[in-house]
Amino acid sequence: MMAAMVSAAPRNVGGEILVPPSGQVKLKDKTTPVIEQVAKEQLDPEARPLVFTRGRADLSLLKLLLSSRGASIWTDEEHDRTNVKMTRPAHDKWGISKIVLVFCDDFLKRVYTFPWYHEPEWKEALQPVLDVLGIPEEKMVRCLLASMPPGCVIPVHHDTGHWVQHTHRVHVAVVTDVSEVDFLVGPDPKHMRKVMFDEGRVVEFNNQAKHAVTNRWSRNRVHLILDYVDEYPLDFVRLAPGSKLVQTRRSIDVEGLVTRQGPDPAFVVLGGQKCGTTLLYECLNQHPLVARGRRRETHFFDWAWPAKGESLTVDQLRESYMAFFYAEELKSHPSIVTGESTPSYLLRGDLVIPRLKNVAGKTRLLVMLRDPVKRAYSHYHMAVDPEGTPAQLRSRGGGGWTSKTFEQVVEEERAVLEKAGVGPATSPGDFARDYLSTRPNGYGGHSLLGRGLYALQLQPWLEAFGRDQIKVLFLEEVVKSEDSLQEAMDGVFEHVGLPPSPVEDKAPKNHRDYPPMDEGVRRRLRDFYAPYDAALRQLLRRDSLPW
């Protein structure tokens, strides 16, 4: 088994050992993976060693401490009893034992200091390394020792997570044999160099670069892993012995210690229908700290409102609402948030606003808008599409449109609006009383033109919740480019109370192909919506709209 593992190890290109020059990694060289920087010719030549010597540290006290504590110091049982047991999935899979002293979650939301870290013996043993780095202990966000067994191979990889670009990664070999342990670093898997990593050498390397380790030695190789920040707001939490951690890949919480700080759910996408809300919801759910609900569209505040909802207590309503989410899991993972997207909420503010304000009044709200002419055409083709699950077909409704052309439906909808007295001077209150109250509540195939009267729908939401609680986006601006989508989502994450995170899947959602709209119908619709668009510009205090 050992031979097989070692044979699969990455190779040292050129055979020479790289002695890390003096220096340190600049955080500006860690903003993206090195392999991408090289491909785009963005890597600073001064950063190309990727690994630097920060100095040498006297490890005699650390070695003495490790030897005096015996083999049990590496066991989960001992940590569970006198320190805190922590899971590191990859290292655990490779059989690497650990002693965790300080650790942060992937987004640097909290830094946990473990019980052993506060023992004078450990602080004294670690101080020579901090002296070499020239940093106070308050800048450490991770500090642990790892014991790598004989034959173990850590494959080529680079570190990921928000924390990587904000921290300096330092390794110090405590027990090793340079001739038998290979620590390789390189810009890509084909150009890896073995690094001189002898005992006591304090090495900083760019962990956005590819790196790998192979232990061909007959003994365990022990090294110290330390990460520190230059400047970053840190929230420290001191753990008690035996504390129970609740972990996901990117989050760390403590049973009974940290409670949820934000609302549940954290966000609700209100609409509008056929305005890119599915894309917005899916991008939100790519964030590592977001957990999907049981369904995307709960319709709790419109179609699924309890029959006797107005007579139920707030607690009863909240319990019914949270049944659409994984409430128990959220309780044990306070760092994780959830949300929903029901695009009909925006239209039916007359129903939804008082209900939502009563049940989840602090939830962050999101609205995505789109050219109302294109929205109407997309809405029509969704409603008449015969493809889909029975549930999808029921929710679309169709409104009797399947036997009618788009132009016919447009004219019928204009007549409905005229009969209700809806015009550019209509107030949101009159719009709700004379038009919305006549709309069906149970499917989406209606209000083809009414859904594009954005200002009449949005104004009551802004009045009820305030501008700070509602973020309005425009589909045309979001999908202009991959960069614009990421920029928009950075703003959405901030609005919801989440740290930045890359969005990997930027593909359109719920896309349909259909023939071009008749130009005559398009012009009539453009003229129809013009005064309503002007009202939207004024409401949102914008000079123009992106259509």
Q: List the structure tokens of 414.
A: 């204009």
The full set of domains in the chain, from first to last, is: 2-254 (2.60.120.330), 267-540 (3.40.50.300)
Q: Which residues fall within 8 angstroms of residue 94, CB to CB, at 6 or more apart? A: 148, 152, 153, 154
Q: How far is Cα 447 from Cα 215, in angstroms, rounded to an integer?
A: 67
Q: So what's the pLDDT on residue 398?
A: 57
Give residue 406's identity as a one-letter amino acid code: F
How many other CB atoms are there within 10 angstroms of residue 229's CB atom? 20
Q: So what's the pLDDT on residue 14?
A: 60
The full DSSP string for 218-284 is SS-EEEEEEEEESS----EEEPPTTPPEEE-SS-EEETTTS---S-SSSEEEEE-TTSSHHHHHHHH
Q: How far is Cα 224 from Cα 221, in angstroms, rounded to an integer?
A: 10
Q: So what's the pLDDT on residue 276?
A: 96
Q: So what's the pLDDT on residue 482?
A: 86
Q: So what's the pLDDT on residue 69?
A: 94
Q: Which residues fall within 8 angstroms of residue 106, CB to CB, at 6 or more apart? A: 161, 162, 163, 249, 250, 251, 288
Q: So what's the pLDDT on residue 219?
A: 97
Helix (H, G, I), strand (E, B) or coil at 369: strand
Q: How far is Cα 444 from Cα 273, in angstroms, rounded to an integer?
A: 9
pTM listed for this prediction = 0.81
Per DSSP bridges, beta strands 337-341 and 290-291 are parallel
Q: So what's the pLDDT on residue 13?
A: 64
Q: Which residue ranges are tagged as binding site? A: 370, 378
**Bridge partners, 210 (sequence order):** 186
Q: So what's the pLDDT on residue 396?
A: 59
- Point out the catalytic residue in the list 139, 274, 374, 471: 274
Helix (H) / strand (E) containing 138:
none
Q: So what's the pLDDT on residue 388?
A: 67
Residues listed for the chain: 547
Q: How far is Cα 265 from Cα 356, in angstroms, rounded to an integer?
A: 11
Q: So what's the pLDDT on residue 186?
A: 95
Q: So what's the pLDDT on residue 331?
A: 83
Of residues 461, 472, 459, 450, the one with CA closest to residue 427: 459
Quick check: is 331 catalytic?
A: no
Q: Which residue ranges are tagged as binding site for 3'-phosphoadenylyl sulfate? A: 370, 378
Q: List the structure tokens of 326.
A: 């994984």
The full DSSP string for 274-287 is TSSHHHHHHHHTTS
Of residues 198, 63, 201, the one with CA closest to residue 129: 201
Mind listing the pLDDT tens digit of every residue in the chain (547 residues)? 333 344 456 666 667 899 999 999 999 999 999 999 999 888 888 888 999 999 999 999 999 999 999 999 999 999 999 999 999 999 999 999 999 999 999 999 899 999 999 999 999 999 999 999 999 999 999 999 999 999 999 999 999 989 999 999 999 999 999 999 999 999 999 999 999 999 999 999 999 999 999 999 999 999 999 999 998 889 999 999 999 999 988 899 998 876 666 778 999 999 999 999 999 999 999 999 999 999 999 999 999 999 888 899 999 999 999 999 998 888 888 889 999 999 999 999 999 999 999 999 999 999 999 999 999 999 999 888 877 677 666 665 655 788 899 999 999 999 999 999 999 999 999 999 999 999 998 888 899 999 999 999 999 999 999 999 999 999 999 999 989 999 999 999 999 999 999 998 878 776 778 899 999 999 999 999 999 999 999 999 999 999 9
CA 279 to chain centre: 15
Please state the φ and ψ torsions of residue 97, each to the nearest 5 degrees: -85, 160
